[in-house]
Amino acid sequence: MSRTKHTAAKKPRRKPSAAAAASPATASPHTRSVTAKKTGGPATPTPGKSKRPHRFRAGTRALQEIRKYQKTSNLLVPAASFIREVRAISYRFAPDINRWQAEALVAIQEAAEDYLIQLFGDAMLCAIHAKRVTLKGYSVGKATWWDGPTLVRYCIIT
């Protein structure tokens, strides 16, 4: 059986009603769809196609957040909750110490956040070395076990 070229069937045109004929916006099919789009009115939706919400590719949002937090110089942990934890821990070890200078609390918070950032960076190096992109608990354990130069030497040698 030979292949033949088929032509598309033309759709019959509808005759405009009397009310629609009086309106200049509905004079031709082209202007009708344009005015429906401009006014935000109900345009004829195409069947089977729905507008999906915008989604970033995997990892894009994380990289945006990394760039955002690298540009800022403010602290990441909320100050009130951090101060509450410092006071609770200090009360456990020395109940007679209950007053702290504000500068001392800020210095402790900056040191703690710096340590955590370095710890998570080393843990990510361990995860990448293990050919993973997910940070797991034992990666953090290895990062605490090794110090910085040993970790770098281990990752380069092995």
Does 53 score more than 80 pLDDT? yes
Cα–Cα distance for residue pair 112/104, rounded to 1 Å: 12
Domains (range + CATH), the chain: 60-157 (1.10.20.10)
Lowest mean pLDDT: which of 63-77, 102-116, 122-136, 137-151? 137-151
**Helix/strand/coil percentages in the chain, nearest 5:** 60, 0, 40
Cα–Cα distance for residue pair 127/131, rounded to 1 Å: 6
| Segment 135-153 mean pLDDT | 70
Sign of CA dihedral 81, 85, 86, 90: positive
CA 46 vs CA 11, 43, 52: distances in Å: 16, 9, 14
| Segment 136-144 mean pLDDT | 81
Does 145 score more than 80 pLDDT? no
Lowest mean pLDDT: which of 27-31, 79-83, 108-112, 131-135? 27-31
CA 77 vs CA 113, 118, 153: distances in Å: 8, 15, 31
Q: What is the pTM of this model?
A: 0.53
pLDDT tens by residue, 1-31: 566 666 777 777 776 666 555 555 555 555 5
